[in-house]
Each structure stands twice: as C-alpha cells, then as structure tokens.
Structure 1
C-alpha cells in the first residue's frame, strides 16, 4: 500500500461491508476518511459498498465464508465466568459482560488459528478494545471545504483534491487524466436501438445493467435529468427509484450538489447559501427501530429507514421516536433479547394429545 518513499499510495479504494458501522453514509466513516485523506496527502480516497442483496459480490464476505463455515455447530456460552444478565435478560454487570465477551473472542481466535486457507495459515487473536480510540471522531472541515472536496451518494463516498495547489498541494498521481471532472461520473445504462445508442429515463431502466465506466466516459451522450440542476450520482440507483422526492430533498436547489441524507443537504444550504430559504426538515420516520447506543458525542439509533434496505445509525435527534414508541410500545433497551442455550434449542411445538 506504500510507494518507494514509504508514503501511502496517493489513491486509496476501500470496499467496505454494507453494515451500519461501515457504510460510506455513516458520519463517523466520512470523518475518518477525510482525516486520512489530509493526513496522508492523498489525491483521492473512495469508499464504496454493495447494495442490499449483493453481498455475494463483496470480496470480504467471500473471504469470510471459510471462517464462518468453521464455526458451524460451535456454541459460545455468554456466561463463561458467570451470568451478567438479570431475570429480564438485561446487563446488570458490565465488567463481567466484558470478561465473558473476551472469553468468546479468545475461543474464536483459537478455532481460526488452526485453519489453513489457500495454503496460508490463519493468525487470529483477541484484541482488547481501546476505549479512547473508540471515542475519537475527527472533526469535519468547514462546509466550504467539504462542498469542494467531498461527494456523497448512497453507496459511494469520494474525497478528491481540488485544483487549488495552495489548498491541496500537487497531485501525486495521474488520476486527473482519467477523472477529468475530478469525481467519478454517475452510473447509467446505454442501450442500442434502431436509431443508435441512447440512454433510457431512470423510470424505464431495469436497474440491473449499467454501461462500463470507460464507455460512459468516451461516448458523447449523457442522460437527461429533469428537475435537477445537474446529473446526480444516484439518479439511476434502483433502491431509490421508488421515491423520486428523496433524491430532490437530498439535492441543493441552489448549486445542485447531491448528498446522501436530507440532513447533510440542509446543513450545506444553511452554511453555504444562508440567504436561500430552505424547507423545514422533518425527523426521519423509520419503518423499524432496532436498538440505540452512545457514540461518544451523542446518542445514535439503529433503524431501518425503508424496508428491504440496510439498517443504519442515525443521530437520536434526527429520528421520530414518538411515532415508533406509540406504535410498538417497547423499550429500545430490550430490542435484542439474550436467551440461554436450552431456550434457543427448545422445541417450539407442544404435543396435541387426543383422548
């Protein structure tokens, strides 16, 4: 990953899992990406993930398959040093919970360390969490810097050097010869008809086939983008086609910059276009709420915003909790019940005795 001088190579591409802690929409991921971009003097950093249901194409998932197969039939007790749960299955002893978790991690490391994958031995060890590192979240730069260097979308984050050498310094690679507009051009399909090549409208696209990057870059045809100031990256994203309003709310109506959330778009407008009136931003109404946690600065809610989409962490202030509590009437602390081995293996059926 380093060049002859020992520096990190100038262009970094990271394929991440689509989970709530790793996806490129998560604010903490964005903060650390920008932090590393500046720290290592990168020309560009791209963090991308697969859409829901496409994890089979994730290289990490495929490499994890042998590790998961080795755990088939393995039971990891939650009470190796004694139970840390009360009668309701809630944690009553956090120190004991950490010891039990460490024991489970050490068992996993022992099992995996006995494996050989593709002729290479597996080295696994349990690493105790560093609370100080966990709480470190780099501060984001100004909105002006952010708007110039960062592009967000549903499954891709791009941070690229600008053309102001006083700001970013000289380019260390030839990436601009490939990305003449600095950022990756949006994906869209190109079809053949009796009248030549054409690009269908988003609502006419099957959501499965897209033209390769170099083909899109070389052909002098571009999609139409009615209602948007310019072509936004997620215009042809299949998982966002059901509600065009989402795309409009994520787009700045003044400069046409596109963001991965409505909150980010509102923040951009408030800081960069203060004189421009923006519609009132309502809290997100998720279809399901799973659990919550503290990220060191604020409380976060893990929720599914739209069905058939990945769960994601949202700031507690951005979620309409009252609606969910009224509908479900449950305590979020009990969202993930912990049960014993006997209960998990118990027969759910009762005998129907006929007299």
Structure 2
C-alpha cells in the first residue's frame, strides 16, 4: 500500500501529479515488468474527472509510455464513495496520528519548506505500519520535486479551446496527434475511462507492442473493448454482478453501451468513433469533434456552404432589368 502525501499553499492536486507519483511507484517496484493491465479507482474529484480532456490526455500518455495492454480508470458515483477502499483506509490513518501535534519548523522562512518538514514528521507515524495485512509505504512528495509532466494548466487551457485556427496551429501538432492516438483506443463514460490495445496492424503503437495479457484482453475485446457493463435486471434499480455479466457476455450476449440505461435517460455518444465515447456536455462534444474529427467537421461545413450557395443561386428571384434613360446628344 502506497501513500504519497504532499503539502502546498498554492499548488492543487492534478492528474499530472498523480501520474508522476504512479510512475515513480511503478518504476521503484518494477510493476510493469510482469504486469500489463492496471486498474485505478478514484474518487472522481476535480483532479480525476473524466470530463476534463487534459486528464484523459495525461492518462493516455501514461498508458502509451508504459506500453500497457489496458489501463482502466473508474470511480464511484456521487454518494457511493463509501465503498471506495481508499476512503475506508483514511480512518485507520487518522487513528495513527490521533493526539499528534506537528509544529512548523521556524528555521525555514518559506512556508513550503515548513510543510515539507511537517511531512517528514508525519511520515514517521505512517511509514512501515500495516493496514489489513498490507504494509504501508509512505514517502512524502516535497515541494522541490519536479513533475514528470509539466504544464498541466497550459495543456488544460490548450485542450479547452475549440477554434479550428487554434487546433490546426503547428505548435499543437504533437498534442493533436497524441490525443487522436489515445482516443482511438479510449472508451469514456461518466465514471469510466479505459485505454486498450487494438488489433489494427497499421496502428503506430499497438503494432510495435504485442499484447501480453492475452486472456484479459481477449475478455475485454469480446465485451466490445471495455468492461462488462452493469445491466439492470427486472427488479428496478437492481443490477447483475460483475461475474453474472461476464458469464452472460461469454455466452454470446452483447455488452450494453455505456450510460444508456441511466435512470436519467440515455446519453449522447460520438457516432464517428469506433469505440463508445460519451459526451458529457454540448461544449465537450464540440471540442471532441474539432480536435478528433476536424476533417469531418470542415467537410460538413464546406457542404453546408455549398448547399447554401446553391440554394441561393436556385431560389434567388430574378431581378427585373430596368432600362436607364440616357441623355440625348443634344442635351
């Protein structure tokens, strides 16, 4: 069990910070030496929300750079975070520091350095302790440590814009290419995002890195390249278990499209993507279509322009020619 506490008065937790911590933990413990599938359970906070394209970009980059067969990122719906095992662990961590007072070191004039010293003291109460037979590996993240992925806010601002001039700018060529690569392997819904290797022989990523977890990826591909989706039974608000859905899909039943059986009604998904990609807002749809399918958008705009010009030429009423009276030479 790994804990990476950090303290800051200005910086907020972002997906790039989480990716940096995950990368360090994975490298130090050789996670991906014999593993190629990773599942992340998050609390769906602002730094984990699936409607922020910068978060999807960062996790897509993590999936690509570690050559994972599948990266599955899920979260609990609002009101159900109590089922999150990490949330349950917080009570145990709080008990370990009960009645503990950690003072700032006055020898440091900078508040960030004082917070770093407090993290060192906090680490003494958590590191090497056990929770549910798991040994706790607690290492503070100091303010002086740089992130592996810099410029999260700049990336977020870049992906928020949807003008064709901004997207087709040469400075954004690399971002646009990577984002299109990630979303060709991405399934997104309100509380689920996954990146899974494809079977396309022309794919610049998957063709060079064959699948290692063949049984797991085989199951996911038989389900439509995403997890068995919850299916409501005849009883209202009751869903089949994961194993029940898995056995049903292996028996030949088709997997449900994400977010199409919500009590609030089905959600709109991208018709141009091969994998289900759910739109969470109208602005999200416009950004997605411009960044990923800008060729289709521009061609549709041209068609609309041509059709409108043709209609104007067809239905434009003929103007009556009026003869202008010319002055006689004698005048």
User: Above 0.5 in TM-score?
Assistant: yes
1:176 shift after superposition: 4.1
Q: Distance in 1 between matches of 2:77 and 2:131?
A: 28
- Kept in 1: contact 2:185–2:195 (CA 8 A): yes
1:50 shift after superposition: 1.5
- Kept in 2: contact 1:56–1:62 (CA 8 A): yes
Q: Structure 2 unaligned runs (5+)?
A: 1-25, 156-174, 302-331
Closer/same/farther in 2, CA of residues 147 and 70 from structure 1, 3 Å limit: closer
Closer/same/farther in 2, CA of residues 98 and 267 from structure 1, 3 Å limit: same
CA deviations 1:300-338 (Å, max 9, x no partner) are xxxxxxxxxxxxxxxxxxxxxxxxxxxxxxxxxxxxxxx
Work out whether 1:173 is the aligned partner of 2:199.
no
RMSD value, Cα: 3.8
- Give the corresponding residue for 1:252: 270
CA deviations 1:10-64 (Å, max 9, x no partner) are 2222223332223444444322321122222222111112122222322222333
From 194, 217, 225, the equivalent of 2:249 is 217
User: Is the radius of gyration larger for structure 1 or structure 2?
Assistant: 2
1:70 shift after superposition: 2.1
Closer/same/farther in 2, CA of residues 119 and 76 from structure 1, 3 Å limit: same
- Give the corresponding residue for 1:321: none
- Give the corresponding residue for 2:194: 158
- Give the corresponding residue for 1:55: 81
- Kept in 1: contact 2:32–2:66 (CA 8 A): no
- Give the corresponding residue for 1:191: 234
CA deviations 1:81-125 (Å, max 9, x no partner) are 399xxxxxxxxxxx6221232233223112224845456765534
Closer/same/farther in 2, CA of residues 171 and 118 from structure 1, 3 Å limit: closer
Name whichever of 23-32 and 95-104 sits farther off: 23-32
Q: Normalized against structure 1, the TM-score is what?
A: 0.55
- Give the corresponding residue for 1:334: none
Higher helix share: 2
Q: Structure 1 unaligned runs (5+)?
A: 84-94, 193-204, 224-230, 278-355
- Give the corresponding residue for 2:39: 13
Q: Normalized against structure 2, the TM-score is what?
A: 0.58
Residues 193-342 of structure 1 aligned to structure 2 (within 5 Å): 205-206=236-237, 208-212=238-242, 213-218=245-250, 232-237=257-262, 241=264, 244=265, 247-248=267-268, 251-252=269-270, 257-259=276-278, 261-262=280-281, 263-270=283-290, 271-272=292-293, 273-274=296-297, 275-276=299-300
Closer/same/farther in 2, CA of residues 152 and 119 from structure 1, 3 Å limit: closer
SS in 2 for 1:133: coil
Q: Distance in 1 between matches of 2:233 and 2:134?
A: 43
- Kept in 2: contact 1:185–1:233 (CA 8 A): no
Q: Distance in 1 between matches of 2:278 and 2:51?
A: 9
Tell me how many residue pairs correspond in the alignment: 238
